[in-house]
Each structure stands twice: as C-alpha cells, then as structure tokens.
Structure 1
Amino acid sequence: MPSTQDSKPRILVVEDETDVRNLICLHLKKAGYRLREASDGLSGLAAAKEEVPDLVILDLMLPEMRGEDVCRALKAHPPVAAVPVIMLTAKAREEERVAGLELGADDYLTKPFSPRELVLRVQALLRRSVASAPAEKLAAGPFELDRGKFDIRMDGSKLDLTAMEFKLLAMLMENHGRTLGRDRLMRDVWGYRSMVDSRTVDTHMRRLRAKLGKRAACLETVRGEGYRFRAGEEH
C-alpha cells in the first residue's frame, strides 16, 4: 500500500538559477508537494520521461536546451503530453507569453514573482487537471482523437497540429453541437489567468480550419457567441 508521501503530487522544477530554484522548491515543499529538480533543459526533459510528474515548472531561458524546445518535446511525447506546464520567464512582453502558451504551456509567470502566487497557480492547475479528467479518446464524424497518444486523425490520416490547436479541437469535439464562447475557450484551453485575448482564439481557429481543408466546415462560427463543432452528414 503506498504511503501518504507517495500519494502527494510530484512536481518537476526545471530552473537553472540556483537561488530561484531553491526558493520555488522551499515553498512547494511547505505546501506538501514532492519535488524533482533539474538545472538545464536536457536533464529536465530526461527527468520528465524517466518519471512522469503531475506538473512541470519550466524556465524559458535554460542552458543545453531552451524552455520552448523542452515544452514542445514534452507535448510531443504521449506519456507526458497532458501534464500541465507553468512557464517562467524574465521577459514580460505579450508576444513572449503568447508564444509559450501556443506551445502548450498551461500558465505563465514573469520574474520576479510571488512564491505564494506560484503555489496558488500550481494548486489551481492540479485541481483543474483532476476535476476535468477528460475522455482519453473522442470520435465524431471523420475525426478520431487520442489524448494519451497526442494523436488526431481525419478520414484516417494523421493531422499535424500544434499543442494548442490539438487542445482547441479536443475541447470543441468534447462539446459536439454546443456553442462555446471565446471566454470559455480562453479559460479551458489556454488555462488559468492566461494572457490571451479573443483575437488569439480567432487566429487559432483560422489556422485550424486551414489544416482541416475540406472538413473546415465542421468548425462553425456562431455570430456574437463563439464556435461550435458539428460533424454531421452535411460536413
């Protein structure tokens, strides 16, 4: 029977600045989490593949392998593709935040940050991860989606989607026939307090439709309300 300690969520902290990493770990330990640390991108990616964490805290500027590349590799590796990622960066520009979120990061913090705020965001992401527990596999019309394998097929052929496009299509498929507003999509796809606006949603929808080609009509725009997935015979 596993001990109480073994049942606590495990968090992987990938941060090259020793002082920052120690501060993060100190507060997460106080909050009751188990921790694993890495000081560069390559060792962080190896640690995640060796022992799948419940959440990853990932610095953007890392030696050996940049944080964006680590995030991209995590989201492309099925066993860890669904693990929430919080990105840390010293850059405050909106385009940097959006770029990280588009790679599949679930939240974003700019240095310097409050350790208490980080702990609260960790708690929120882990609660959301457990509460949502979405179906691993979805099928609707010509589409078959497997979250565990990070795989989406249309008419039997694999689609090459980014992490955010995959999450967006999965969310729409899961709510087949229901209209989802931009606010709902920003909250559930881009994550807790993410720094995106409705234009980001619209841009991703345009890119997603372009990749669906002849099946693009399955993604309907409901004027003044949002978007809806329908994969009936008419599509």
Structure 2
Amino acid sequence: MENPLILVIDDSPTIRKMVECHLSQAGYRVAIAHDAESGIVAAQTTRPNLIILDHQLPGTTGDEVCRKLLSVEDTASIPVVISSAMRNRAFALYTEFSNVVDQIPKPFTSELLKSGVANALQMGKLVVQAQRTGSTMPEMVGEDHDSALEGNTRVFPVRAVIDFLNNSEQSGRLTVELGNDRIRFSLSGGRIQAVVASTVSPDRLLEFLPEDLADLAPLLAITLGETQDASMAGLVKLLEKSLADPRRLRTLLRFQAAVLTHWSLSGETGDFRFEPGGTLPPMFQAFPLQTSLPALSVEGVRRCGLAVNLRDWAPLVIARRNPRGGNLDRAGLSPADIKIHALLDGTMDLATIAERSGQELAAVVDTIRGFERTGLAERRAPVSSDAILLLEDEPETVRVVQKVLGPEGEGYQLKVVRDRIAAQLLLRRQQYALVLLSLDHKEHEAFFLSVKPQVAASTCFVGIVGIEDESELNSLDAMGLDGVLQRPVTEADLKAVVKHLLAAGQLAVV
C-alpha cells in the first residue's frame, strides 16, 4: 500500500516547509497549496488521505474551504485537521462540519504534528462517516484490537518491545497486560509521552508518593485514567491556571509513569499489543513526558525498588552496553546518571564509580539497577591479575578462549597471538600465569621445549591438540605439560582446566 498523501493548505512558507520536512521524514507523501483556491483544486485532483487546513487564508477562512469540500462528493469524505494559532476559538467555527476531525494548534512541534496526523489518519474516516450518517463511534478507541504488533512479554520482554518502537520512531499506544492490570504507554516518534493504567487504584501508588507531592495525591484518580471529553479538557486547563507551580503536576505525572514502568519491567509476563496513532490522555497533552525507558526505569527503582545490601554491590564490576540496532534513547536521564553510565568501562567496581562520580553508593546502585532492567549495563567478572597467553591460529578455538577467559568472561588479562615469534617476544616482556598453545605439529612441540626453561617456574603450560589414540596422549605426558585440552575445545572443559590450574597449581588433563 502506498504511503498516505497529506495535503497542506497554508499561506505561510515557513509552515509549509516545516510540515513537508517532518511529514516526509516520517514516511508520508506531502502535497502543498498556498491558498484556498489551489487547495480545493489539489484536493479534487490528488484525493489526499488527509488535509491540514490553515484557518486564516488570503481572502477567506478555513471554514469556507470546508464548506466547498463538503459540496463535492469526491472531497466530502476527506478528513480535515484545522491548524490555527487561535486554538479553541477557531475550532469552535468547525463543529458543524462533518469532515473536520481534529485540530493542531500553532505553533506546533514536530512530535505534535506527527502524532496529530497519525491519529487523524487512524480515526478520520470513521469520524467523517459517523458524522455524515449519524452512526455512533466505538466507545473505546483501539478496543477492536487493530494492532500493528502484538505478542507475549515472556517471549518479547517489555524492554525489547519499547526498544524496538523507540529505534523505529513509532507513534501510538502500547498496552501491556500484567495479571489484572493493563498499563498503557503512549509514544510519539518512539519517545514515551505518557504512562497510564485505569485498572490501577491510586491507593497502590500512595506508599511510594514523595512527601512534597502528597497534596496532589487526589489527582492520581484522574491522571491514571484516559477519559477524553470536554469536561476533562476543561479540568486540565483549570489546573494549569490554578496551580501555583504547574511543574509539580509534571513531576506527579512523571512519578506515576516511573512506578508503572517499574511494575511493567519487573512484573509477571502477559500479552502486549501496539496500535499506531491515538491521542494522549488529557493531562499528558498539557504535560507530555518526552522521556525514555531508561530514565523512567531509574526513577522507578528509586521510588519503589526493594532495599539492597550495599556491601554486596560495592565490589561489582559493571560495563555499559549499547543494544543492537542503535543506541537506546537516554532522554530524561539526569546529568549524574549520564556521568555514571560514561564511567562504566567494565574494569572499575561500583565503589570506585561512586567515588569518581561524586555520588553516594546507594544512588549509584539505584542507577545501575535501572540501567540493568533496560539493557544499558551488564555485570562483568572482576579483572584478574593473572595474565594468560594464547598461541593458536584456529578461529573457533580463539573465539571460545576469548569468550570464556576475556573481559566478557572470567576477566583474565588475555593476549592472543598466531605465530611463535610474537609469542616468544611476549614471554620475554611479561610473566604469564598460563600459556595455552597449539601442539598439533612437531615444530609446535619444539617451540614449547625451547621456551619452557626461559619462563618462571610458576607458569603453567596447557597444550591444545586433537588426540586420536593413546600413544599421542603418552607422548604429551612425556613433554611435561601442566594440562591438555582436546579439540574441539569446549567452554566447560576450558573453564575447568584454567580454574583448576590457577587456583590449585595442579595438573589437569581433559
């Protein structure tokens, strides 16, 4: 199916360029008209999927354009979105027109433009048809399960689903079923704008509500829901005007989103579905979150995470991760959290991270727990003081050794070389606790016999060889190796031999 065609009728060159730029990047086709006459002609000839109509046009107004569009059968059913700086005063003139489905107030952001267009495309034809025929609209938008993506969080965790929607810059509503709860994330351009749950009682959030927001607790009965009507819109405007500091309402909405997100990431598995388009709940229309999953996860841990023993966390070594498919959105993270993430190099323990970041260890631990839930951090084994040298040219064996003994495995200081000259130079420059070397050929045996007397007596040698009969094993025994690994080398065998030799200093043959 061809991408939707959007016709923009606006006399402002700036608005036309802005709309064309943002909608084209979002995958829409865009047609432009600079006045009413050319706009009506374009609507008749191109038959767009949606019209964005300026209220104030040269010599006329948008309501006259709507009237002319309705008078022609070919254009009467095209959904129209009104764009005006007059907002509700202008929109009131269009209540009688069946083809007008929504408004986008000027000036608008790219996110508001794209979400408004997506919503109008999803519901526009239904609204026009309902208004022209007198039929009724569904009571709950989206309850027909017309989803673009669905599954179960046991297979696709909430983190992975939101990561995908973020990287692909999707706009719409993600519904996650958690037992009897239904938590909904509204996204625009992949970024989280709202998190609500009409099935959750406000009482369940009160135990986590900070004291400085206690007086706003009654509002949770409203902010948790998704009611879309005129009275709710009026209440939101009243709150904006009456609150001495509207930023506290924004803080309440973020608190709610953080707690619900924490439950989504840590709760039981269930079904999910994503529906493109949709409108933000009224409270979040006034105060969209514009944040990321990691930011909400970190705050969620701080608000309602279980207490931990800091002594257990202090020695842990954590490395930062960049998920596949691109960097996960970090919008909304505090400068302190971003600094902590930058320090996660996979070598320093958390006590050192806390010292270098200037944060309390407890704060660093909460940040790490939030990062772990969203794939931005992973635990690593502490870097060992023991150095290991691998002399091997078979790629699969090198891969197994690097995976098991390298930074992402046991954390040894691992050096890998493929020729004997390089190995000999390294053995002269540094002392190694263990040398793993291929012994498939006679020249390999000669190399071992020549270097063994030159290194410290504490250095262990493990031969890597394919053993086909007992006589070969007897020959290896006579060489005085500390251990033997048989090809193909397995992770389990490698771990067992290395740990045994370095911990106990005893011979191990597998």
TM-score, normalised to structure 1, is: 0.54
- Deviations 1:29-74, CA, capped at 9 Å, x for gaps: 0011111100001110111011211000000000143211111111
Tell me, in whole angstroms, the C-alpha distance in 1 between the residues paired with 2:110 and 2:76.
26
**Equivalent residue letter for 2:94:** G
Give 1:15 deviation, angstroms: 0.7
Tell me, in whole angstroms, the C-alpha distance in 2 between the residues paired with 1:31 and 1:118.
11
Could you tell me which of 156, 171, 185 is aligned with 2:135? 171
Taking structure 1 as reference, are residues 53 and 168 closer, same or farther at Cα in structure 2, changes over 3 Å only? closer
What is the SS of the residue equivalent to 2:60? coil
- Deviations 1:82-138, CA, capped at 9 Å, x for gaps: 11111011113x3422212332311012211112111111111212247x599xxxx
**Equivalent residue letter for 2:71:** A
In the other structure, the counterpart of 1:99 is: 93
The answer (yes or no) to whether the contact 2:101–2:124 under 8 Å persists in 1 is: no
What is the SS of the residue equivalent to 1:73? helix
**Structure 2, gaps ≥5 residues long:** 142-226, 233-510
Tell me, in whole angstroms, the C-alpha distance in 1 between the residues paired with 2:8 and 2:134.
28
Tell me, in whole angstroms, the C-alpha distance in 2 between the residues paired with 1:109 and 1:103.
16
**Structure 1, gaps ≥5 residues long:** 135-146, 148-165, 185-192, 199-235
Is 2:99 the partner of 1:114? no
Give 1:194 deviation, angstroms: 8.6
Tell me, in whole angstroms, the C-alpha distance in 2 between the residues paired with 1:133 and 1:107.
10
Tell me, in whole angstroms, the C-alpha distance in 2 between the residues paired with 1:82 and 1:25.
23
What is the SS of the residue equivalent to 2:134? helix
The answer (yes or no) to whether the contact 2:69–2:76 under 8 Å persists in 1 is: yes
Is 2:38 the partner of 1:33? no
Alignment coverage as a number of residue pairs = 146
Could you tell me which of 43, 57, 62 is aligned with 1:62? 57
What is the SS of the residue equivalent to 1:103? coil
Give 1:195 deviation, angstroms: 7.8
The answer (yes or no) to whether the contact 1:9–1:54 under 8 Å persists in 2 is: yes
Larger Rg: 2
In the other structure, the counterpart of 1:45 is: 40
RMSD of aligned residue pairs (Cα, Å) = 3.1
TM-score, normalised to structure 2, is: 0.26
Structure 1 segments (4+ residues) deviating >4 Å: 193-198
Q: Following superposition of structure 1 onto structure 2, how do residues 50-199 of structure 1 map, counting pairs within 5 Å?
A: 50-92=45-87, 94-104=88-98, 105-129=100-124, 132=126, 167=131, 169-172=133-136, 196=230
What is the SS of the residue equivalent to 2:31? strand
Tell me, in whole angstroms, the C-alpha distance in 1 between the residues paired with 2:3 and 2:31.
13
Taking structure 1 as reference, are residues 129 and 87 closer, same or farther at Cα in structure 2, changes over 3 Å only? closer
Tell me, in whole angstroms, the C-alpha distance in 2 between the residues paired with 1:64 and 1:47.
18
What is the SS of the residue equivalent to 1:121? helix
Give 1:26 deviation, angstroms: 0.4
- Deviations 1:134-188, CA, capped at 9 Å, x for gaps: 9xxxxxxxxxxxx6xxxxxxxxxxxxxxxxxx8165215xx8xxxx98x99xxxx
**Higher RCO (CA 8 Å, separation ≥ 6 residues):** 1
Tell me, in whole angstroms, the C-alpha distance in 1 between the residues paired with 2:122 and 2:228.
16
**Equivalent residue letter for 2:93:** A
Tell me, in whole angstroms, the C-alpha distance in 2 between the residues paired with 1:102 and 1:52.
22
